[in-house]
């Protein structure tokens, strides 16, 4: 049996003029229920408070009816009933508005969470991208070093070119001789 179920029958059995005697016990039960974080007891608390308020108004009305009712009291009562209905209507309006705001807040929180996840992904990609840029910069530097080294190495002189041509011609002749050589053991 839940805490609420233990006190619920008392509401049914207690006469209206004695309901105020339940106030302390009900407050303790609601405090325990509200202590449980996974339970939203606001609707229960509102219902109980509204019930106590209605009982109080009933007792007030009953006592005013039992006393000598005058025209002035009837007018006052009528105005109060109208005021009460207006207040109850406004309360319902604000409760509905609060529920809408809670839903909107939940949606916004979900969007914020999604944006935070997206931000993390982008930051991770950016970090990897920066690493790649650094690697490419090192590669570019190395290639530029090689280019500079090649450009700064001396080119062949005319005499070296002539010597190489002469050697090449000699090699081609030797190759031709090898090709034409007829050897018999």
Prediction pTM value:
0.36
Q: What is the mean pLDDT of residues 88-106?
A: 95
Distance between CA 66 and CA 68 in Å, rounded?
A: 7
Predicted confidence at residue 69, as pLDDT, reads 60
Q: Which residue has the higher pLDDT, 88 or 40?
A: 88
Contact by Cβ (8 Å): 47, 4: no
Confidence of residue 156 (pLDDT cuts 50, 70, 90): confident
Q: How far is CA 86 from the centre of its chain?
A: 39
Confidence of residue 161 (pLDDT cuts 50, 70, 90): confident
Distances 8 to 36, 48, 56, 117 between C-alpha atoms, Å: 19, 10, 18, 46
Confidence of residue 71 (pLDDT cuts 50, 70, 90): low
Q: Which of 74-78, 100-104, 133-137 has the lowest mean pLDDT?
A: 74-78
Distance between CA 179 and CA 169 in Å, rounded?
A: 15
Contact by Cβ (8 Å): 33, 41: yes
Measured between its terminal Cα atoms, the distance across the chain in Å is 117
Distance between CA 18 and CA 27 in Å, rounded?
A: 16
Distances 20 to 15, 28, 47, 79 between C-alpha atoms, Å: 10, 14, 15, 25
Q: Which of 10-19, 64-73, 105-114, 165-174 has the lowest mean pLDDT?
A: 64-73
Q: Which residue has the higher pLDDT, 107 or 185?
A: 107
Q: Which residue has the higher pLDDT, 120 or 29?
A: 120
Check the CA dihedral 96-98-104-110 and report its sign.
negative
Predicted confidence at residue 43, as pLDDT, reads 86
Confidence of residue 37 (pLDDT cuts 50, 70, 90): low
Distance between CA 148 and CA 48 in Å, rounded?
A: 88
Predicted confidence at residue 67, as pLDDT, reads 62
Q: What is the mean pLDDT of residues 126-151?
A: 94
Distance between CA 95 and CA 103 in Å, rounded?
A: 12
């Amino acid at each position: 049996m839940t805490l609420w179920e233990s006190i619920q029958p008392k509401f049914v059995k207690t006469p209206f003029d004695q309901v105020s005697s339940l106030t302390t016990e009900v407050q303790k039960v609601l405090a325990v229920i509200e202590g449980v974080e996974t339970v939203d007891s606001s609707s229960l608390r509102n219902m109980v408070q509204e019930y106590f308020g209605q009982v109080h108004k009933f007792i007030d009305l009953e006592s005013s009816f039992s006393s000598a009712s005058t025209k002035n009291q009837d007018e006052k009562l009528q105005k109060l009933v109208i005021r009460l209905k207006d207040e109850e209507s406004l309360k319902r309006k604000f409760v509905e508005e609060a529920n809408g705001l809670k839903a909107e807040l939940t949606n916004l929180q979900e969007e914020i969470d999604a944006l935070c996840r997206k931000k993390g992904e982008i930051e991770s990609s950016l970090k990897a991208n920066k690493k790649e840029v650094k690697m490419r910069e090192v590669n570019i530097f190395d290639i530029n070093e090689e280019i500079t080294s090649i450009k700064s190495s001396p080119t062949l002189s005319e005499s070296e070119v002539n010597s190489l041509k002469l050697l090449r011609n000699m090699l081609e002749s030797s190759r031709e001789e090898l090709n034409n050589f007829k050897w018999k053991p």
